[in-house]
Amino acid sequence: MADTLTYKILKAHLTDGKLEKGSEIGLRIDQTLTQDATGTMAYLQLEAMGIDRVKTELSVSYVDHNTLQTGFENADDHRYLQSVSAKYGLWFSRPGNGICHQVHLERFGVPGKTLLGADSHTPTAGGLGMLGIGAGGLDVAVAMAGSPFYMTTPEVLKVNLTGQLPPWVGAKDIILEVLRRLSVKGGVGKIIEYGGPGVKNLSVPERATITNMGAELGATSSLFPSDEITKNFLEAQKRAGTWKPINADPGADYDCEINIDLSALEPLVAVPHSPDAVKPIREVGAVPVDQVAVGSCTNGSYRDLKLVAEILKEQTIHPRVNLVVAPGSRQVGIAMAGEGVLKTLLSSGARLLESACGPCIGMGQAPPSGGVSIRTFNRNFAGRSGTADAGVYLTGPAAAAAAALKGHLVDPRELGNYPVLTDMSFPVIDDRMLIEPPADGSNVEIIRGPNIKPLRRNEPLPETIKAAVLIVVEDNITTDHILPGGSRVLPLRSNVEALSEYVFSALDPGFTGRARQHGGGFIIGGENYGQGSSREHAALVPMYLGVKAVLARSFARIHRANLINFGILPLVFCDPGDYEKLAAGEELVIENVPGQLENQLIYLERPADVTKIVTRHHLTPREVEIIKDGGLLNYAGKLS
């Protein structure tokens, strides 16, 4: 039987279930990663499981999100993460070493292996032919403890690439074209597999840009084959021994397929406020620009930044523009310094940021009030930049550099001849900021700061849920809407009580007070509820406030899993029109909740008008038991 690349990797790692579309399967996880915004909670959960050492082949704790140290909280978290890594056997990537996805691609990723990461952009590893999946921190903790990761058998969508990119068009334009066609929910329940003759014309960093932004499609993961291009990349990283070829069999059957002629693409931009609001730059016009930000895990490679430098060489950025540049990894920064790229950028007027997520997650460099920011990042949700009324546009590095020069959005083809880029290999390999764990961590003392509070657990499922509707929200609500990031909120990730003050704060500042007043309740959502980042806190903190269930027209994959992990019922309207009937403040009742869970239908009574709302829970038998126990941590403890 001819297999897709996806199914080859799934078959090699299958521990439970059958590879039948829509059914639940368990996968053996080879590697895990966390970052500091998700890591503290993940390791508190790991500690609660009572194991001595992680059971994976390799696990890495990265510090890349909360590196802006305006108080003691972030620094304390970093100290905790370093000590817990040494105790439990994880590699530790120190602050400044780079963004987890790029560093992992460079130094740890292995074709054909599985990677589970507590960050939604973990599929970046698919640029190497590695199956990277984003998940909540609790799922990652359970995997580190040696248990399988459970997911629904995905459909596989093939993107068939032909031709070669023309000058001034890059990998970012490829994934923006996919987003334009499929939308932010077009990848839900799917793994996107790239193939065709055009693949050989894309470097690993270019492939990683594409797989990284597959997260914006809602896809479980994205994959490229591992070929000679992959081999060359790993050889340059002095890791040739990890390479192996892996690709789809000829004649493999896909659930759906789209074709993209690379030679027909043009420079694209995602306009505010969604990554799928994609248009040709030439159609958008000369939008005045206040800020340009280059870097992130999407476009922070040496190739991307060298391209920007070549465009800006011997020129000065526009007087109105503030240009900031963040290398994706320390290794990239060293290469930039050694090859003169850094000097060129600084001479043009660019400001250098550290190798970290920074502006992408609202951690510094917020645009001015009502300003326009052109970014080579992956998300442009309203308010995510740190400025509520800013307009964020997503482009590739060529268009970003052009905007920095001209002071407005411009098709980079207007700049003339495309720069000739030579020698894209890294001149140095430097792992000194990666700390290998000791062989025995039993005597390591874990260091906890005062902001790291005890782990919060849910209670087992009650017989009856009787509560008020706390809020009704629209379609495509992101985890940023549910629980914002930024420099004020991210440092509180280890302190659920303090964090609870910010739930839905951008949409409804009264939400937390109302939830406390009612002792919890229901959340009503539209389509694709919970899209965006993997932040499990968007489920954990509502659980802490007493939220018992979320009723929505549909859910994003990771957030649905996080709701289940924390014992919150994810319910889908059988009649989508019922969404329109519910209003904040009304009471809903679910009688005999454990009994109703034995069937797919859950009936909610509306005492106010003696009617019922019919929903489906779509839970597997395993997920039903997790909900009954009050969440995955309680469930896992019962099994151990």
- Annotated domain spans of the chain: 268-415, 465-639
pLDDT tens-digit profile of 21-36?
989 999 999 999 999 9
pLDDT tens-digit profile of 189-240?
999 999 999 999 999 999 999 999 999 999 999 999 999 999 999 999 999 9
**What's residue 67's pLDDT?**
85
**What's residue 494's pLDDT?**
87
Class of domain 268-415: alpha beta
**What's residue 640's pLDDT?**
61
**Any idea what DSSP says for residue 248?**
P
pLDDT tens-digit profile of 287-321?
999 999 999 999 999 999 999 999 999 999 999 99
What is the residue-averaged pLDDT of the chain? 95
13's CB contacts (< 8 A; 6+ apart) are 27, 28, 29, 30, 114, 131
E strand or H helix at 589, and its extent? Answer: strand 587-590
Q: Where are the beta strands (DSSP E) in 30-172?
A: 31-34, 58-62, 91-93, 114-117, 131-134, 149-152, 155-162
The percentage of residues in the chain with a pLDDT greater than 90, rounded to a whole number, is 89
Q: Is the pLDDT of residue 574 over 80?
A: yes
**What's residue 582's pLDDT?**
95
- Where residue 427 falls among pLDDT bands split at 50, 70, 90? low
Cα 524-526-530 angle, rounded to 5 deg: 85
pTM of the prediction?
Answer: 0.95
Among 97, 96, 108, 88, smallest CA distance to 33 is for 108
pLDDT tens-digit profile of 276-285?
999 999 999 9
465-639 folds as: Aconitase; domain 4 (3.20.19)
The percentage of residues in the chain with a pLDDT greater than 70, rounded to a whole number, is 99
Tokens of 466: 């009787």
